Structure 1
Amino acid sequence: MIRAIALDDEILALRIIENYAEKIENLTLEKVFNKQSDAQKHLNKFPVDLIFLDIEMPAKNGLDFYKNISQNTKVIFTTAYSEYAVDAFSVNAVDYLLKPFSFERFKTAVEKVKSNIENNDAKHLSIRADYKLHKINFNDIQLIEGLDDYIQIHLKDSTKITARSSMKSILEKLSEKDFVRVHRSFIVPVNDIKTIVNKNIHIGDFIIPIGETYKEDVMRILNK
């Protein structure tokens, strides 16, 4: 199921997207917004797979709005202006719908999202940070640390990537067989757990405590 929201300052445009979305299986349009601030508040709390996004808006240009989304959300731009197409695809937009667009054209764009998700390499994590989309190989991740409203991805080359995300949200993007949450503040690669001493996991130079809440999950995965 693709979870989506729509953001457009024109109410009629939002109604058309709502109407089209209702006709497509495995697509849930969870919310629509005509103010960027309201959409941003929603995105800060709830992960979504897709955003239908207008470009010309009163507050911030839709392209700039998308660049500031920290979670890995796919975008279909919906606009009356063709001159933004190159810029839209430079930020990895799945599609670019010129208003007024038909239901068939809308459906084709959503099918691209479905195909993109299904064909996405399961051994990579894509996440937005520092105004860029990072594609990180699972094998390069040493551990993921939770820092309040942010997460810090520690890579095996000693670099770090900090992004706005919850631990729950980032865990949903990872393979269950490859990663396990061992503490409210730590997610680690299963295959890199070599030593457990006094309820602590040793990974590289890190000593990570196993939280009581997560102890059963850790032992279950290790005993598979």
Structure 2
Amino acid sequence: MINCIIVDDEPLASALLENHISKIDHLKLVGKAENAIEAYKILHNQNIDLMFLDIQMPHLNGIDFLKSLSQKPKTVFTTAYRDFAIEGFELEAVDYILKPITFDRFFKAVERVLRNKTDPDEDYIIIRTNAMYRKITLPEIVYFESCGNDIKIFLHTNECLVSKTKITDLEVTLTSKGFVRIHRSFIINSHYIKAFNHHEILIDKYRIPVGRSYKKGFDVFISGLSKNKLI
């Protein structure tokens, strides 16, 4: 569970963030503040992992407030102004979000924090399916199939999920984690490979073709994967 606070003097903006936070199980809102002084009291009395911090506030702005802290929680700046973005990132902010804040944009910022808090032995992705966000550990995934504007995700439990995700985005994220793209429409989890040749792969109980333009890359991947294991 990630303890978080909202620091914002605008009631509507604060209420919107509170609503966004309530939709994510891993987040727990433990306090709200309208200015830096109130925020400091919360930080001093409670263990805070994540702070959603407005910049333009009375008495002390968000930038100067964060600079003043000796122990800084992970911080997402929430503001209506672009002018402070560079200075915000120089303070190693997790993200810098412009108001009005949509849930999709909010979630992208939070996902960075969730990934950093994850046990390194539990790699996972979070996808949106059926109007819900779902966490899937990588060992659960057998392969991905691109179908038009959707991605089908086949799990070892025989469940199939559908998400509005680009296969190219998945390729960038998963290439270093035992996954390989073997076709313009397929990315597979190499841990489930049972047999293969230059034309197709038997992965779990599925037969998947190897695309012509992906054969060389797949051969290189398999050579590294099976080094010292081929007889």
1:84 aligns with 2:16: yes
| Residue 95 (structure 1) shift | 5.2
Matches of 2:152 and 2:9, distance apart in 1: 35
CA distances 1:114-169 after superposition (whole Å, capped 9, x unpaired): 65554445611111221211111110001100001110101111111101111101
Gaps of 5+ in 1: 1-75
**Which residue is equivalent to 1:204?**
204
Distance in 2 between residues matched to 1:166 and 1:86, nearest whole Å: 30
User: Which residue identity lines up with residue 56 of structure 2 in the other structure?
Assistant: P
Q: Quote the Cα distance in structure 2 between the aligned partners of 1:182 and 1:188.
A: 7
State the distance in 1 between where 2:208 and 2:166 align.
19
Letter in 2 for 1:205: K
Q: Provide Cα deviations, 1:89-129, integer angstroms capped at 9, x if missing partner.
A: 12348754457353426893252456555444561111122
Counterpart CA distance in 2 for 1:77 and 1:167 is 37
Q: CA RMSD in A?
A: 3.0
CA contact 1:79–1:99 (8 Å) conserved in 2: no
Gaps spanning 5+ residues in structure 2: where? 1-5, 28-49, 68-74, 78-92, 96-111, 225-231
User: Aligned partners of 1:144 and 1:180: how far apart in 2?
Assistant: 10
Contact kept in structure 1, 2:142 and 2:188, CA below 8 Å: yes
Q: Is the 8 A contact 1:79 1:97 kept in 2?
A: no
Question: Does residue 133 in structure 1 map to residue 133 in structure 2?
Answer: yes
| Structure-2 change in CA distance of 1:168 and 1:97 (3 Å) | same
Match of 2:86 in 1: none
Q: Matched residue pairs, number?
A: 149
1:124 equivalent in alignment to 2:56: no
Distance 1:135 1:116, change over 3 A: closer
Q: Give the number of the structure with larger relative contact order, counting CA–CA contacts within 8 Å between residues 6 or more apart.
A: 1
1:147 aligns with 2:147: yes
Larger Rg: 2
Distance 1:119 1:186, change over 3 A: same
Work out whether residues 194 and 202 of structure 1, in 8 Å CA contact, stay in contact via their aligned partners in 2.
Answer: yes
User: Between the two proteins, what is the percent identity of the paired residues?
Assistant: 23
* TM-score, reference length from structure 1: 0.56
What's the counterpart of residue 185 of structure 1? 185
